[in-house]
Amino acid sequence: MSEPRHLPSSGKPVPSSTYRLQLNPSWGFTDLAEQAGYLASLGVSHAYLSPILQAAPGSQHGYDVVDHSRLNEELGGAEGFSRLREALGGAGLGAVVDVVPNHMAVPTPETLNGALWSVLRDGPRSPYAAWFDVDWSVESHAVLMPVLGKRIGEALDDGEITLDREGGPGGEPVLRYFDHVFPVRQGTEDLPLDRLVDRQWYRLAYWRVADEELNYRRFFDIDTLAGLRVEKEEVFAETHAVLVSLLREGGIDGLRIDHPDGLADPRDYLRRLERASDGAWVVVEKITEGHESLPADWPTAGTTGYDALLRAGGVFVDPDGADPLRTLHTQLTALPEDFDEVVAEAKRWVVEHGLYAEVARLVEVAAAVCADDVHLRDHTRRGLREAIVELLVAFPVYRAYVVPGEEPHPDSVRVVEDAAAAAREQLPEERHATLDLVRDLVLGRLGRGRRLDEFVTRFQQTCGPVMAKGVEDTAFYRWHPLVSLNEVGGDPARFGVGPQEWHEWCAGQQSDWPYAMTTLSTHDTKRSEDVRARLAVLSELPEAWAGAVTEWRALAAKHRSDVGWPDAATEYLLWQIVVGAWPLTADRLTAYLEKATREAKVHTTWTEPDERYDTDVKKFAEAVIADPSITQSVEAFVERLAPYFRVNVLGQKLLQLTMPGVPDVYQGTEIVDLSLVDPDNRRPVDYDRRKDLLSALDGGMEPDGLDAEKLLVVSQALRLRSERPEAFGASGSYEPLTSSSPHALGFVRGGSVAVVTTRLGAGLERAGGWAEETVELPAGRWVDRLTGASFAGGSVRLGGLLSTLPVVLLAREVSAG
């Protein structure tokens, strides 16, 4: 077998599995330390920590870093982390950490971010000016601070902006606006207030100004997360010093990189990180679209697993359900059957509204290029904007990975050319030449220069936010024939992954990315793995589902408002969420619907909420949950799904834990977890219950219920990975098992571990069960780690193999001597 390409340096620790933990001020290093023994008994090798550097006060996630030089005091600080490492080490565990290189917080008060404070006080002369991606060429020569609740003239007239002459750090004068604090530029403190405000290196502004005139790069459309320029060596060094030190000291063993597509040059960043970490295990949060692959020249072990999630979940979706579910969706909602139409409309909304400022900056850079070249001067700003907007809307991936000064990879050229061809159809003929110019600018075909290079980089840094906000955070909430498909890294129009596709993809991963991460649930998934597992059953029972929805809509008619709200699309989403997450309380459902409807941006948004609509949707959801005629029918339908739900829950989990890669278990999901989108999926985990259940299973208790069965599958699979690392690592292998039934999916890892799962359980039942169907096991004696049953190699009847559980985890017996 050829040596895999993407491996950490020799001798560097590689997890056999990880357990993702969401740290916050209420559950920090000490709390995690108390669970070290449990995690070890579960079978994981590494605790996988959310960001640990100092974040804004009260941060529930850690992605809003304010100080890279210290560990988060609210999590326990350096002392707490030292105790955590001691506890993890004592349990035989390592740690990997989430890294946020793309941005840091603009906190309130602003004094909390020392680097930003320096820039606001001293402008381009600040030693930290290179840290932030600020356009100082704007007319005001000031960083836009869109924090005011009204226009600045009104805020001044109303006395809301005041000068505090000694209230800042070290007694320096500051400007105050409620909880916000801003430095005063030296020599301006004695000016009249309106002139003083106008003379700063920042521009206080009404918050709505941000979407049109923001002059610093931000994370997506979040004004309070300012982009960092880690392409600068000094910025990289200072922002990574603590984490690199922990890596070299053995305090942590690996890193997960958040949103590398937002960086100026992801490949260069990873190369510097490889050098700084001496080749540690590093995975990247990269979302691949369609048949897109991770760039082969990235020095990383692979992705964080959304590509694996799509395949492991897709195996349990019946493609025969696509047409009836899409037809039902169209009949109920009047939305188009073509998801691409919805995506284009959503992306266009995003570039014209939430990301208007980012597009405007691209236009200005392109216009400056044209102004510098007499041959290009007749391309107008309006024409450039129209071409840029349509190219962004047509772009099918997060990034093309064009590097200034390098010949673009053929895949990059194809992506840009295809997007330009699609954009051309949306533009009048007189704009085609301008589109060709924009295409050539994106591909770096006009040569080198500051503005030319900037356009190449900045266009790509804009593509990612357009994809994320336009597709995942808008279109996914508008169009949902089967909402379990609307997942990060997923494709709502793609119904199902067949066994052949599964085997081919896994073989490729084993060959090229054997230490990439695999996952089913994360802090970013829109529904937990088990919610998706239940909803996947609907693809097998579309007629029954259509009947149930019709009944519930009739029963709920009396709960709709006098204007008929919620709209049909929102109501259809509601029924899917109710079934997927049942039993569901009203407060969880209404919180989800508030987020879903505002992200959809059809009737209400976060920035311009429609209070009447929001209230009517909330009242409807509360009435549905309180109506026994509806809830009893829902319960009966969910019970009907139960046997097939069991097949999917256990099957997809076992696949994820044994497929090529390093499996991650999201906190709490070792038993059935029916969480929805953040913050629902960050709720506290009841570890005492999980410990007691695991202890009982280890004591010989037969699993009683799906919680126990899932925990058995998770613990046994993780333990087997630790016991037989040669079967699962880069030196192992992946070989499909031959079965006579399309409802069985199996494979062998490293010749010594075999997995067989049931798939499409409702279809199996309609086919009359396993009957005489078989699977071919390699020679030897195989013991099921889940039941203790033993099987000889050869042709084995599936009915006997899967008589107790719908999955088996087989370990080949090793002969003595």
> CATH number, domain at 257?
3.20.20.80
| Host domain of residue 423 | 344-476
**Would you call 43 exposed, middle or buried from its count of C-beta atoms within 10 A (0-12, 13-18, 19+)?**
buried
What distance in Å separates the CA atoms of residue 348 and residue 337, rounded to the nearest whole number? 19
From residue 668, alpha-carbon distances to 42, 285, 516, 687 in Å are 12, 21, 22, 8
Whether 548 contacts 572, CB under 8 Å: no
Is there a domain that residue 312 lies in?
A: no
HEC string for 116-164:
HHHHHHHHHHCCCHHHECECCCCCCCCEEEEEECCCHHHHHHCCCEEEE
The CA-based dihedral angle spanning residues 299, 20, 647, 591, taken in that order and rounded to the nearest 10 degrees: -120
Do residue 634 and residue 554 come from a single domain? yes
Helix segments in 373-425, DSSP class H: 381-394, 410-424
Is there a domain that residue 816 lies in?
A: no
Do residue 142 and residue 52 come from a single domain? no
8: Cα within 13 Å, side-chain hemisphere: 20
Query: Tell me, what's the pLDDT at 291?
Result: 85
> CATH number, domain at 205?
3.30.1590.10
What kind and span of H or E run contains 612? helix 611-626
Domain boundary among 461, 476, 491: 476
Do residue 221 and residue 234 come from a single domain? no
Query: pLDDT tens for residues 569-581?
Result: 999 999 999 999 9
What distance in Å separates the CA atoms of residue 196 and residue 173, rounded to the nearest whole number? 12
Q: How many residues does the chain have?
A: 817
Positive or negative: CA dihedral 430, 433, 434, 435:
positive
Do residue 247 and residue 215 come from a single domain? no
Query: Which residue in 476, 479, 480, 484 sits closest to 648, CA to CA?
Result: 484
Is there a domain that residue 399 lies in?
A: yes
Do residue 587 and residue 545 come from a single domain? yes
Do residue 94 and residue 239 come from a single domain? yes
CB-CB neighbours of 696 under 10 Å: 15
What distance in Å separates the CA atoms of residue 218 and residue 241, rounded to the nearest whole number? 23
Do residue 399 and residue 436 come from a single domain? yes
Which residues in 638-758 belong to E strands, given as ranges?
Answer: 662-666, 734-736, 744-749, 753-758
Q: Using only the alpha carbons of the chain, give its radius of gyration.
A: 28
What distance in Å separates the CA atoms of residue 491 and residue 801, rounded to the nearest whole number? 34
Encoded tokens for 245: 């030190």
Query: pLDDT tens for residues 427-478?
Result: 999 999 999 999 999 999 999 999 999 999 999 999 999 999 999 999 999 9
HEC string for 420-452:
HHHHHCCCCHHHHHHHHHHHHHHCCCCCCCHHH
Q: Is the peptide bond before 806 cis (omega within 30 degrees of 0)?
A: no
Domain boundary among 640, 664, 696: 640
What distance in Å separates the CA atoms of residue 511 and residue 496, rounded to the nearest whole number? 24
Whole-structure pTM value: 0.96
Query: Which residue in 73, 72, 520, 588 sits closest to 314, CA to CA?
Result: 520
What distance in Å separates the CA atoms of residue 600 and residue 620, rounded to the nearest whole number? 18
Could you tell me which residues come within 8 angstroms of residue 459 by beta carbon, excluding any fewer than 6 positions away? 362, 388, 441, 442
Query: Tell me, what's the pLDDT at 814?
Result: 83
- Tell me the average confidence (pLDDT) per consecutive run of 10 residues in the chain, 817 residues long: 70 97 98 98 98 97 98 98 98 98 96 97 95 87 94 97 93 96 96 96 95 88 93 98 97 97 97 97 95 93 97 98 98 95 97 94 97 96 98 96 96 97 98 98 96 97 96 97 96 95 97 97 97 98 98 98 96 98 98 98 96 98 98 98 98 98 98 97 97 98 97 98 95 97 98 98 97 97 98 97 98 78
Query: Tell me, what's the pLDDT at 290?
Result: 83
What distance in Å separates the CA atoms of residue 41 and residue 670, rounded to the nearest whole number? 12
Could you tell me which residues come within 8 angstroms of residue 378 by beta carbon, excluding any fewer than 6 positions away? none
Do residue 98 and residue 236 come from a single domain? yes
Whether 376 contacts 440, CB under 8 Å: no
Do residue 348 and residue 468 come from a single domain? yes
User: Which amino acid is it at 597?
Assistant: T
Give the pairing of strands 103-105 and 281-284: unpaired
Domain count within the chain = 4
Do residue 234 and residue 126 come from a single domain? no
Is there a domain that residue 363 lies in?
A: yes
Is there a domain that residue 804 lies in?
A: no
Is there a domain that residue 781 lies in?
A: no
Do residue 81 and residue 122 come from a single domain? no
Is there a domain that residue 625 lies in?
A: yes
Do residue 268 and residue 348 come from a single domain? no
Encoded tokens for 810: 């087989």
Could you tell me which residues come within 8 angstroms of residue 25 by beta carbon, excluding any fewer than 6 positions away? 58, 59, 60, 74, 75
> CATH number, domain at 615?
1.10.10.470
Instruction: Compute the C-alpha angle 488/489/493, nearest 5°.
Output: 100
Is there a domain that residue 602 lies in?
A: yes
What distance in Å separates the CA atoms of residue 152 and residue 745, rounded to the nearest whole number? 64
Query: Tell me, what's the pLDDT at 768?
Result: 96
